[in-house]
């Protein structure tokens, strides 16, 4: 069968998998993503030795890598990621493959089903992340960041976000919830639920990203 037809079938399975996820049917979604990944991998492999057929080759390699992630096939995804990083020249696709590699490393110790389910959750967190850069005011040790700097940032960040969440909840609930619940108790519960997660990190000047598990808030950097 022609690669173009196989690719279209893979996209159809992927679309149906997304629909299944939206309906909460994780088992059907995994099955459909597995079919999509299998087809797309066969097409991408067909283009491995055809560098003259760019950008089609790069696009298909990227697609196969991400479909394998969605199907929980981490090792196979990495095969396409590494091939792409070594052989693709398109800078945007290389950046996307690098992101796929970071996700694959986060999921590598999970079984197929757990990895597939967590892929979507991790992707959403990364999309919602805000990037920060810690750098010393006085470069006594170059751009190296001390644990004390990380601790100071962490404590201030947590205090700020928890205070903001509680204040926002109390302000919004005065009229709508005051007659039905203990506002202070509910606010304390919200404070306990705030759980910022580090979703990305880079060496040098300590660059990292943070996403909030429960509440999305805009911060000043």
- Does the pLDDT at position 204 exceed 70? no
Each residue's pLDDT tens digit, 130-184? 888 887 777 777 777 777 888 888 888 888 888 888 887 777 766 565 555 667 7
Considering only 33-37, 114-118, 142-146, 201-205, which range has the smallest mean pLDDT? 201-205
The gap between the terminal CA atoms of the chain, to the nearest Å, is 53
The pair phi, psi for residue 201, each rounded to 5°, is: -155, 150
- Does the pLDDT at position 195 exceed 80? no
**Cα 198 from chain centre:** 11
Residue-level pLDDT at 215: 38
**Considering the entire predicted model, what is its pTM?**
0.71
Percent of the chain with pLDDT over 90: 47
d(Cα 13, Cα 6) in Å, to the nearest integer? 11
Cβ distance 122 to 107 under 8 Å? yes
d(Cα 202, Cα 114) in Å, to the nearest integer? 26
CB atoms under 10 Å from CB of 198, counted, come to 13
What are the residue ranges spanned by the domains of the chain? 3-128, 131-212
> How sure is the predictor about 206, in pLDDT bands with cuts at 50, 70 and 90?
low
When the pLDDT of each residue in the chain is averaged and rounded to a whole number, the result is 83
Residue-level pLDDT at 159: 87
Can you name the CATH fold of 3-128?
1.25.40
d(Cα 213, Cα 134) in Å, to the nearest integer? 22
Q: Which two tokens stand for residue 92?
A: 């945007």
d(Cα 163, Cα 110) in Å, to the nearest integer? 35
Percent of the chain with pLDDT over 70: 86
Residue-level pLDDT at 139: 73
Helices (H), 23-111: 26-46, 56-70, 74-87, 91-107
The pair phi, psi for residue 198, each rounded to 5°, is: -80, 120
> How sure is the predictor about 192, in pLDDT bands with cuts at 50, 70 and 90?
confident
DSSP strand pairing (196-202 vs 130-133): unpaired
d(Cα 186, Cα 176) in Å, to the nearest integer? 13
Question: Which has more confidence, 208 or 78?
Answer: 78
Residue-level pLDDT at 218: 33
Each residue's pLDDT tens digit, 10-57? 999 999 999 999 899 999 999 999 999 999 999 999 999 999 999 999
């Amino acid at each position: 069968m022609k690669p173009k037809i196989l690719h279209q079938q893979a996209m159809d399975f992927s679309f149906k998998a997304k629909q299944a996820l939206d309906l909460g049917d994780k088992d059907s979604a995994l099955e459909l993503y597995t079919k999509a990944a299998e087809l797309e991998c066969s097409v991408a492999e067909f283009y491995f030795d055809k560098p003259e057929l760019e950008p089609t080759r790069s696009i298909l390699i990227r697609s196969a890598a991400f479909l394998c992630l969605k199907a929980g096939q981490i090792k196979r995804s990495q095969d396409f990621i590494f091939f792409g990083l070594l052989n693709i020249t398109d800078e945007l696709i290389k950046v996307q493959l690098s992101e796929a590699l970071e996700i694959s490393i986060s999921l590598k110790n999970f079984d197929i089903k757990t990895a597939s389910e967590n892929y979507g959750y991790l992707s959403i967190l990364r999309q919602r992340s805000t990037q920060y850069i810690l750098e010393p005011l006085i470069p006594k040790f170059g751009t190296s960041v001390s644990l004390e700097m990380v601790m100071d940032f962490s404590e201030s960040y947590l205090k700020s976000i928890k205070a903001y969440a509680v204040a926002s909840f109390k302000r919004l609930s005065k009229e709508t919830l005051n007659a039905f619940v203990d506002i202070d108790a509910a606010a304390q519960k919200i404070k306990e639920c705030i759980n910022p997660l580090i979703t990305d990190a880079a060496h040098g000047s300590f660059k990292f990203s943070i996403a909030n598990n429960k509440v999305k808030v805009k911060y000043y950097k």
